[in-house]
Structure 1
Amino acid sequence: MTSRPDGPSAAPEWAPEREITEEAAAALVGERFPELRGAAVERLATGWDNTVLLVAGEFAFRFPRRGIAVPGVRREIAALPLLAPRVPLPVPVPRFVGEPSPSFPWPFWGARLLPGRELADVRPPDGDRVRLGGETGAFLRALHDPALAAEAERALPPGALPVDPLRRADPARRAAMAAERLDRLAAAGTWARDPAVERFLAAARGWSAPQGRPVVCHGDLHVRHLLLDGGGRAAGVIDWGDVCLADPAVDLSLAYAGFAGDGRAALLAAYGPVPPDGVRAARVLAVFICAALAEYAASTGRDGLLDEALAGVGRVLAP
């Protein structure tokens, strides 16, 4: 689900301001959408910013857990219908949209459930990620098409897609944040310090952000947001709460966190050339995202995600 790990706070960053229950969700959905009145509701997944519930066994409803997630929910509602027919992997398309009310103060939406399991849950060996890498690269090539960015700017309201609002393509900023998180992981005994990673982050503090023209980016593409089918192929991309215009490096971080060796080569071959400053920014962001996911996983008892996130830190500098 949407990970928004962008700075320390007194409480865990994923602590909800408001948590929806199955009973409350059933009442809200039934009130707004009569065709779903009385449908079964069960918890499907929980992330940093949203709780996802399965309704009637076929619709995934996303309810914000924190006020900071609300702009992203509105971006999803606006942008996903435009993006879905233009990319080669399934993405959720809002079919049911609920506006704020006295019963629930934030917007929420539901779409047909995309079948599949998170890459972080499947955890195929790196050698089995070659075909997946090619499929992911083709998806990102379509998403990052400058023509799609131009169409989105024409079709969506002004400001509907902000330009890198979290400065994820800024390697100097992300390197400092990644180092802080890795220090905490090392102090807790969760991560064994890697001098090569630490030297890389130290050097990155002097790097500038890429200066390419912004394209449509998922904005938070990591191993929880790429779905796989039973055969290990890409089955969909979920959790678009950070969709924005940004340098492609923001999404290409997945090439370094989720793939290595032949898998990464397949992804980049399907995607196309990436300038050196984009590669650097993508690698730095990959370290940051993996460190953030590792902190979250360690604190919430998600051992599989923890293992995948720590493996991702190790992949970043691998050939």
Structure 2
Amino acid sequence: MIMADEGFLDGLHAGFAVPPAELVALITRATGTAPEQVERLKVGDENEVHRAALPGGATVFARIRKPGDGTFDSEVWAMEQARAAGVPVPRILILTGIPSEAGERSAMVVEQAAGRQLGEVLPDLDPDRRRAVMINVGRVLARIHAVATPGPRRPDAAGRWPDPTDVRNSLIMEREAQRPSLEAAELTAAEIGAALDQVRRSPDVPPRTDAVLCHGDLHGAHVFVDDELAVRGVIDWGLWHGGSRIGDLAMTSTKYPEPDFEAILTGYGITPDPEFRERLAQAVISQSIPHLAWHDSIGNAPGRAHYAEKIRTALARLRPSV
């Protein structure tokens, strides 16, 4: 997970907040009981998130979109598709809207995932158990990718999925337009030129055919495991999309140290060959550029630096064949 400093998150989240009375009313509607305690979690740069303790010890989470930032409808669709494929996804208790001065804000309340966050568990595991749990993560990721989508990215409000060729052309234009963020991250002109060339070469972001469901953000805070190291929950589907298996694996590789990712590939059932490694590196570059640009746009320097390093590492791996 790319961590932002506390001051950055404080400033970002100060710009939007549901009034406490409305938050309590939302949770009460979803659960049938008023919460005993509600705590706001400043854990990301997209949604307002609150953890609520209920009478009897249960915990639920309220997630609210920023004003004017769309709805959770498509995210709910992705979660339902994953659940049908055997992926452990927390139950959604309510999907609704909350009025605000800036317009209606989409809101959802979900049950707490069973187990503990993978990111909390990993540091205490010996190498064998750490490899075992990452193999289990790979198996779950393979289940997610077993879900075919009608096209790449997401459908529009009318349910139409975009044309893959149009998506690819627009993606290349978007990456070119993100050059100023790459410069701000202190990538050299040669590195930027090589990175954009690999975007044009990559067959995987987006795929022309055979798009599958991709989580898009499978880091250690979004995976929950039990004491036996089985995956018990996959949360936060905000970056889901239709895409390629290699594209989603590439983004997953940016979230973990290399030995952990190699174990994910084992669980997924992939024995990497040179072609796979090349396509993976190309996809890492193409996936990292917009994430770098996003962190640059919101002023999150650690996130920008993280993805700049991922681009440099991927370029270094491609250099013999570039």
The reply to whether TM is greater than 0.5 is: yes
What's 1:27 paired with? Answer: 25
Query: What does residue range 256-295 of structure 1 map to in structure 2 within 5 Å?
Result: 256-259=253-256, 261-272=258-269, 278-288=279-289, 291-292=292-293, 295=296
Deviation at 1:80, TM superposition (A): 1.7
Report 1:136-175 matches (<5 A): 136-145=137-146, 148-149=147-148, 162=161, 167=167, 172-173=172-173, 175=175
Do the aligned partners of residues 102 and 199 (structure 1) sit closer, same or farther apart at CA in structure 2, a change above 3 Å counting?
A: closer
| Superposed displacement of residue 60, structure 1 | 0.8
Q: CA deviation at 1:163?
A: 5.2
Q: Give the aligned partner of residue 201 of structure 1.
A: 195
For structure 1, the 5+ residue unaligned runs are 2-13, 187-192
Residues 175-214 of structure 1: CA distance to partner in whole angstroms, max 9, x if unpaired? 436643232122xxxxxx4788545404225325432311
* Segment drifting more, 267-276 vs 55-64: 267-276
Assess, with a 3 A threshold, how the Cα gap between structure 1 residues 56 and 207 changes in structure 2: closer, same or farther: same
- Take 1:197 and 1:87, find their aligned partners in 2: how far apart are those partners? 41
For the 8 Å contact 1:50–1:66, the answer to whether it is kept is no
1:97 paired with 2:91, answer no
Q: Which structure has the larger Rg?
A: 2
How do 1:50-65 residues align onto structure 2 when only pairs under 5 Å count? 50-56=47-53, 58-65=59-66
Deviations 1:103-138 (A, max 9, x none): 97133111112254474x88859x966445423322
**Letter of the 2:76 counterpart:** I
Q: Is the 8 A contact 2:35 2:52 kept in 1?
A: no
* Distance 1:171-1:34 versus aligned 2 partners, 3 A rule: closer
Paired-residue identity, %: 18
The answer (yes or no) to whether the contact 2:250–2:284 under 8 Å persists in 1 is yes
Q: Could you say what secondary structure the match of 2:109 adopts?
A: strand
How far does residue 51 in structure 1 lie from its aligned partner after superposition? Answer: 0.9
CA deviation after TM superposition for structure 1 residue 61, in Å: 1.1
**Of 243, 247, 255, the match for 2:244:** 247
* Counterpart position of 2:79: 80
Equivalent position of 1:10 in the other structure: none
How far off its partner does 1:53 sit? 0.7
Question: Shift of residue 74 of structure 1?
Answer: 0.7
Q: Distance in 1 between matches of 2:51 and 2:313?
A: 34
> How many positions carry a matched residue from both structures?
286
Tell which deviates more after alignment, 278-287 or 306-315: 306-315
Deviations 1:265-310 (A, max 9, x none): 322233345865852552123422552475478x358x6x677656
> Could you list the per-position Cα deviations for residues 74-103 of structure 1 after superposition, in whole angstroms to 9, with x for gaps in the alignment?
112333234225244x33331222245579
User: Is the 1:149–1:216 contact (alpha carbons within 8 Å) kept by the matching residues of 2?
Assistant: yes
Residues 22 and 281 of structure 1: CA distance in aligned 2, closer, same or farther (over 3 Å): farther
Unaligned runs of 5+ in 2: 2-11, 318-322
2:208 corresponds in structure 1 to 211
